[in-house]
Amino acid sequence: MVEKRETGFRFGKYKLDVVESLGSVEYGGRTYRLVRVRTSDGKIYLSLRLYNGSGRFIKQFLFEPEVREKLAEILL
C-alpha cells in the first residue's frame, strides 16, 4: 500500500521511529545518514538514509545490525 501524505509517500502501514543518529557524510551536495530505527513491532534496524541538497529525504536502506560488519566488508 502506498499512501500520499503531505510530507511525502509512506510505504506500507508501519512507521519507523528514529532511536539514535549514528553519523552522517556529505558528498556532492547530498547527505548520507546512518540512524538506528525501531519498527512498530519493536524490532531494531539500521537505516542508511539519503537526503538531497535541500535536506529532503529521498531513499533509505534498512538492514539488521548484526550484518553491519559483513556489509562493510562488501563495500570495502
pLDDT given for residue 10 in this prediction: 55
CATH of 2-75, one of 2.30.31.70, 1.10.3720.10, 3.50.50.60, 3.30.300.30: 2.30.31.70
pLDDT interval class at 41 (50, 70, 90): confident
Task: Give me the residue label for grid cell 531494531.
Answer: 44
Is the predicted pLDDT of residue 8 greater than 70, yes or no? no
- Answer yes or no: are the C-beta atoms of 60 and 50 closer than 8 Å: yes
Element (H, E) at 72: helix 68-75
Report how far residue 19's alpha carbon sits from residue 37's, in angstroms, rounded to the nearest whole number: 5
Report how far residue 50's alpha carbon sits from residue 59's, in angstroms, rounded to the nearest whole number: 5
pTM, entire model: 0.78
Residue ranges covered by each domain of the chain = 2-75
Report how far residue 50's alpha carbon sits from residue 56's, in angstroms, rounded to the nearest whole number: 9
